[in-house]
């Protein structure tokens, strides 16, 4: 079959090939699909497990059993976190991350499986009239009255994204028997969307078609809003995307073209079949570019806000207004499986806390991982922990006291809750050496409450993950032999470091060469301005230990592997100040995003909306 122009605006570039032979790109896409599907299945399984354990906990009357379930829930949540992107074993730098309330639609990776494996949507293209693809489907208006026209082809592009994402998510949840209605996924793709109802976030009942269109409009508005602002900020000229983004776009389209060819389609024809009328290569390329520009500008705004200089007076005033958020304690802490174990732990604890680590090993659940993990003091040490840090970690001591509501009364986010465990721990009556057992938690106070002058720190690390058959980044199920091999590798790297000039530069080079932490490999394993609550426990305790000196090297174990640590030094900025600046910047970024969002509106065009993709194109 002769290949037609890839930009030809046609319904189809040819019939489906009779050959079932797939090229290398298609096979690669299938492998990617299987890997993504496996991860989605694991997420769904963990979500189901957490849901079932919560239901069991809520109906449990035995406090010990309830505490044990809480422990298991926390463990499952940690595993879920690792599947949701924490590949390195460290949390993202939340103290510096400014999240906008309006999300830009990310589109370049869309339909990698949907398109590349030859799957197209059910039914038929809604309209086969060529001229309709350039009709205005929707219009965006800014606060100056300027209009941005969204053609039918662009709308179809976003509709395909939203539709396919919904179908994929539903499929993953359905495999594990989750209640689809509970997750607002109870749509039947064999019935037109206009004949089914759901409820949106505002509690409004609407058809699934209306709901999807609502999501599509919001996604288009968000992307074009940031794109439009980027163009204006660049003097009316469209900014260029980065070289990496351009390469990613070209590689993606090249893969799609190879796959389309193996099925007897031109690239444009195949995209049209998969995504809707008018979504040719040129449309795909254009919308991906717009999305990149929008993403870049959104990041630029966030970085600008986060880098804004606030006066010391402003920061101190913010701290004083929110003083409880910056009060911290340094403690040894252990979460037992049962309250009986916690009681026994506290009774066996020496008055000077000298056997705290040994007791952690004794009372942790017996496993290869726990036996070595809890043998390190860092696993049960928290330096400069605030109330929020302990609450986010899920310790029983940081949970609210039981409370009841009147019949028919629901829990309110504004409701004042009591935290007796935290009240004890953060009381000015506390002294170093105090011990407290609360439910399943045991704490030993190292330093009582204060707003510490301790500074954030800069560290480098090299992560050596055990080699297992599991794709998960959680290595707690690795065998003793696999852990031993990982440690041997880590120690070998330390020996190589010590045999050389043993400088930060040489450590960074070893990190780039050896680390399995993809998040820090390119910068030599560096994490700057580390504060409590960012990193996994043992990593964080080693880094924030007040006895650290520049050039210190050590090995700690976490659920992700062995971390070879290098202490660069303190940052010169107190932890409380780093957190206060971040909080102010986050509030400013949120305000800015809300103002920007309110300056734009989007609505359907009365005539053009009749020609967009609808009802999943089922020929009803």
Q: Which domains does the chain have, with CATH numbers?
A: 328-400+416-450 (3.10.50)
Q: 454 by DSSP, 3-state: which? A: coil
End-to-end CA distance of the chain: 33
Q: Which of 455, 458, 467 is nearest to 508 (CA)?
A: 458
pLDDT band (50, 70, 90) for residue 619? very low
**pLDDT computed for residue 232 by the predictor:** 93
Range with lowest mean pLDDT among 38-42, 376-380, 472-476: 38-42
Q: What are phi and psi of 355, to 5 degrees?
A: -105, 20
Q: Does 260 or 231 have the greater pLDDT score?
A: 231
User: Given a cut of 70, is residue 81 above it in pLDDT?
Assistant: no
Instruction: Provide the β-strand partners of residue 207.
Output: 197
pLDDT band (50, 70, 90) for residue 518? confident
Dump the DSSP string for 206-256: EEHHHHHHHHHHHHHHHHHHHHHHHHHHTTTSPPPPPHHHHHHHHHHHHHH
Alpha carbon distance 268, 61 (integer Å):
61
* pLDDT average, residue stretch 158-173: 85
**pLDDT computed for residue 468 by the predictor:** 87
Which two tokens mark 482?
């696999």
Range with lowest mean pLDDT among 79-88, 173-182, 440-449: 79-88
User: Given a cut of 50, is residue 5 above it in pLDDT?
Assistant: no
**pLDDT computed for residue 277 by the predictor:** 82
* pLDDT average, residue stretch 137-163: 91
Rounded to the nearest 10 degrees, the angle between the axes of helix 243-262 and helix 267-275 is: 90
* pLDDT average, residue stretch 223-244: 94
Q: What are phi and psi of 603, to 5 degrees?
A: -150, 155
**Cα separations (Å) of 206 from 162, 180, 195, 235, 398?**
17, 17, 10, 42, 40
Q: Does 275 or 505 have the greater pLDDT score?
A: 505
User: Given a cut of 90, is residue 272 above it in pLDDT?
Assistant: no
Q: Does 608 or 30 have the greater pLDDT score?
A: 608
Instruction: Provide the β-strand partners of residue 56.
Output: none
User: Given a cut of 90, is residue 228 above it in pLDDT?
Assistant: yes
**pLDDT computed for residue 85 by the predictor:** 40
In contact, 564 and 548? CB cutoff 8 Å: no
Q: Which of 615, 617, 618 is nearest to 195 (CA)?
A: 615
Sign of CA dihedral 478, 481, 487, 490: negative
Q: Which of 19, 1, 30, 610 is nearest to 269 (CA)?
A: 1
User: Given a cut of 60, is residue 16 above it in pLDDT?
Assistant: no
In contact, 537 and 78? CB cutoff 8 Å: no
User: Given a cut of 50, is residue 620 above it in pLDDT?
Assistant: no
Q: Which of 474, 475, 439 is nearest to 337 (CA)?
A: 439
Each residue of 369-423: pLDDT tens digit? Answer: 999 999 999 999 999 999 999 999 989 999 988 766 555 455 555 667 899 999 9
37-46, 179-188, 323-332: which is most confident:
323-332
**pLDDT computed for residue 46 by the predictor:** 65
Mean pLDDT of the chain: 81
User: Given a cut of 50, is residue 511 above it in pLDDT?
Assistant: yes
User: Given a cut of 70, is residue 129 above it in pLDDT?
Assistant: no
Alpha carbon distance 382, 444 (integer Å):
10
Range with lowest mean pLDDT among 50-64, 324-338, 457-471, 518-532: 50-64
User: Given a cut of 70, is residue 608 above it in pLDDT?
Assistant: yes
User: Given a cut of 70, is residue 23 above it in pLDDT?
Assistant: no
pLDDT band (50, 70, 90) for residue 42? low
Percentage of residues in the chain having pLDDT higher than 70:
75
Strands (E), 72-173: 136-142, 147-151
Instruction: Provide the β-strand partners of residue 333.
Output: 443
* pLDDT average, residue stretch 321-341: 96
Range with lowest mean pLDDT among 49-53, 189-193, 314-318, 456-460: 49-53
Q: Tokens 């399984």: give the residue.
A: 45
Q: Which of 121, 122, 113 is nearest to 26 (CA)?
A: 113
Our measurement of the distance from residue 530's CA atom to the centroid of its chain's CA atoms, rounded to an integer in Å, reads 19
* Rg, C-alpha atoms of the chain: 28
Beta-carbon-side half-sphere exposure of residue 546 (alpha carbons within 13 Å): 13
User: Given a cut of 50, is residue 465 above it in pLDDT?
Assistant: yes
What 8-state DSSP symbol labels residue 311? P
State the burial class of residue 217 (Cβ atoms within 10 Å of its Cβ: 0-12, 13-18, 19+). buried
What 8-state DSSP symbol labels residue 388? H
pTM above 0.85, yes or no: no
Q: Which of 99, 204, 110, 216 is nearest to 155 (CA)?
A: 216
In this structure, the number of other CB atoms found within 10 A of the CB of residue 391 comes to 16
**pLDDT computed for residue 179 by the predictor:** 78
**SS3 readout for 483-518:** HHHHHHHHHHHHHHHHHCCCCHHHHHHHHHHHCCCC
In contact, 7 and 281? CB cutoff 8 Å: yes
**pLDDT computed for residue 223 by the predictor:** 94
pLDDT band (50, 70, 90) for residue 470? confident
Instruction: Say how many residues make up the chain.
Output: 620
68-77, 170-179, 550-559: which is most confident:
550-559
Alpha carbon distance 441, 427 (integer Å):
17
pLDDT band (50, 70, 90) for residue 21? very low
Q: Which of 160, 164, 162 is nearest to 272 (CA)?
A: 160
In contact, 330 and 446? CB cutoff 8 Å: yes
Q: Which of 278, 328, 569 is nearest to 430 (CA)?
A: 328
User: Given a cut of 60, is residue 112 above it in pLDDT?
Assistant: no
Kindly report the CA angle at 314 between 310 and 317, in degrees rounded to 5? 150
pLDDT band (50, 70, 90) for residue 259? confident
In contact, 608 and 136? CB cutoff 8 Å: yes
**pLDDT computed for residue 138 by the predictor:** 92
User: Given a cut of 60, is residue 105 above it in pLDDT?
Assistant: no
pLDDT band (50, 70, 90) for residue 568? very high
**pLDDT computed for residue 355 by the predictor:** 98
**Cα separations (Å) of 602 from 214, 258, 263, 423?**
10, 37, 38, 49
In contact, 194 and 172? CB cutoff 8 Å: no
**pLDDT computed for residue 586 by the predictor:** 87
Q: Does 214 or 62 have the greater pLDDT score?
A: 214
**pLDDT computed for residue 612 by the predictor:** 79
**pLDDT computed for residue 275 by the predictor:** 81
Range with lowest mean pLDDT among 37-51, 495-509, 601-615: 37-51
SS3 helix, strand, coil % of the chain, rounded to 5? 50, 15, 35
**pLDDT computed for residue 402 by the predictor:** 77
**Residue 241: CB partners within 8 Å, gap ≥ 6?**
249, 289, 292, 293, 296
pLDDT band (50, 70, 90) for residue 87? very low
**Residue 409: CB partners within 8 Å, gap ≥ 6?**
none
pLDDT band (50, 70, 90) for residue 84? very low
Alpha carbon distance 190, 137 (integer Å):
25
User: Given a cut of 90, is residue 120 above it in pLDDT?
Assistant: no
**Residue 123: CB partners within 8 Å, gap ≥ 6?**
615, 616, 617, 618, 619
**pLDDT computed for residue 269 by the predictor:** 87
């Amino acid at each position: 079959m002769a290949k037609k122009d890839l930009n030809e605006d046609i319904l189809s570039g040819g019939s489906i090939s009779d050959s079932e032979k797939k090229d290398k790109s298609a096979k690669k896409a299938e492998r990617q699909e299987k890997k993504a599907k496996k991860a989605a299945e694991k997420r769904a399984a963990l979500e189901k497990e957490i849901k079932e354990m919560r239901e069991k906990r809520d109906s449990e009357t035995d406090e010990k059993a309830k505490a044990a379930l809480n422990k298991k829930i926390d463990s499952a949540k940690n595993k879920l976190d690792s599947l949701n992107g924490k590949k390195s074993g460290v949390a993202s730098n939340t103290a510096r991350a400014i999240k906008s309330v309006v999300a830009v639609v990310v589109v370049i990776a869309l339909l990698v499986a949907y398109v590349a494996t030859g799957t197209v949507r059910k039914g038929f293209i809604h309209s086969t009239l060529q001229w309709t693809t350039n009709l205005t489907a929707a219009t965006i208006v800014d606060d100056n009255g300027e209009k941005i026209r969204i053609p039918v082809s662009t709308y179809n592009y976003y509709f395909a994204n939203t539709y396919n994402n919904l179908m994929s998510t539903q499929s993953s949840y359905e495999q594990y028997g989750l209640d689809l209605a509970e997750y607002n996924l109870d749509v039947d793709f064999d019935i037109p969307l206009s004949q089914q109802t759901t409820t949106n976030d505002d509690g409004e009942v609407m058809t699934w078609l209306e709901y999807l269109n609502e999501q599509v409009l919001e996604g288009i508005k968000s992307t074009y809003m940031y794109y439009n602002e980027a163009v204006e900020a660049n003097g009316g000229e469209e900014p260029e995307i980065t070289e990496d983004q351009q390469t990613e776009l070209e590689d993606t389209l090249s893969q799609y073209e190879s796959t389309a060819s193996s099925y007897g389609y031109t690239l444009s024809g195949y995209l049209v079949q998969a995504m809707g009328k008018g979504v040719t290569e040129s449309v795909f390329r254009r919308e991906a570019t717009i999305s990149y520009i929008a993403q870049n500008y959104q990041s630029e705004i966030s970085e600008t806000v986060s880098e804004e200089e606030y006066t010391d007076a402003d920061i101190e005033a913010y701290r004083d207004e929110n003083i409880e958020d910056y009060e911290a304690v340094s403690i040894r802490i252990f979460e037992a499986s049962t309250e009986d174990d916690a009681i026994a732990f506290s009774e066996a604890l020496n008055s000077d806390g000298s056997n705290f680590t040994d007791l952690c090993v004794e009372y942790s659940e017996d496993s290869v991982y726990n036996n070595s993990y809890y043998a390190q003091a860092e696993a049960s040490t928290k330096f400069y922990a605030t109330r929020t840090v302990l609450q986010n970690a899920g310790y029983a001591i940081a949970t609210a006291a039981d409370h009841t509501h009147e019949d028919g009364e629901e829990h309110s986010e504004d409701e004042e809750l009591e935290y007796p465990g935290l009240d004890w721990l953060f009381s000015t009556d506390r002294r170093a050496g105090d011990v407290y057992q609360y439910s399943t938690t045991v704490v030993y106070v190292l330093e009582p409450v204060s707003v510490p002058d301790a500074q954030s720190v800069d560290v480098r690390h090299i992560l050596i993950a055990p080699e297992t058959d599991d794709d998960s980044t959680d290595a707690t199920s690795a065998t003793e032999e696999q852990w031993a091999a990982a440690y041997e590798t880590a120690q070998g790297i330390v020996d190589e470091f010590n045999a050389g000039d043993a400088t930060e530069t040489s450590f960074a080079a070893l990190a780039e060469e050896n680390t399995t932490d993809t998040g820090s490999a390119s910068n030599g394993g560096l994490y700057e301005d580390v504060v409590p609550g960012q990193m996994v426990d043992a990593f964080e305790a080693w880094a924030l230990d007040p006895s650290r000196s520049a050039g210190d090297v050590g090995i700690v174990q976490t659920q992700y592997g062995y971390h070879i640590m290098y202490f660069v030094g303190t940052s010169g900025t107190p932890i409380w100040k780093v957190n206060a600046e971040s909080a102010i910047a986050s509030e400013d970024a949120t305000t800015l995003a809300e103002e920007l969002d309110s300056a734009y509106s989007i609505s359907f065009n009365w005539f053009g909306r009749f020609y967009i993709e609808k009802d999943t194109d089922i020929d009803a």
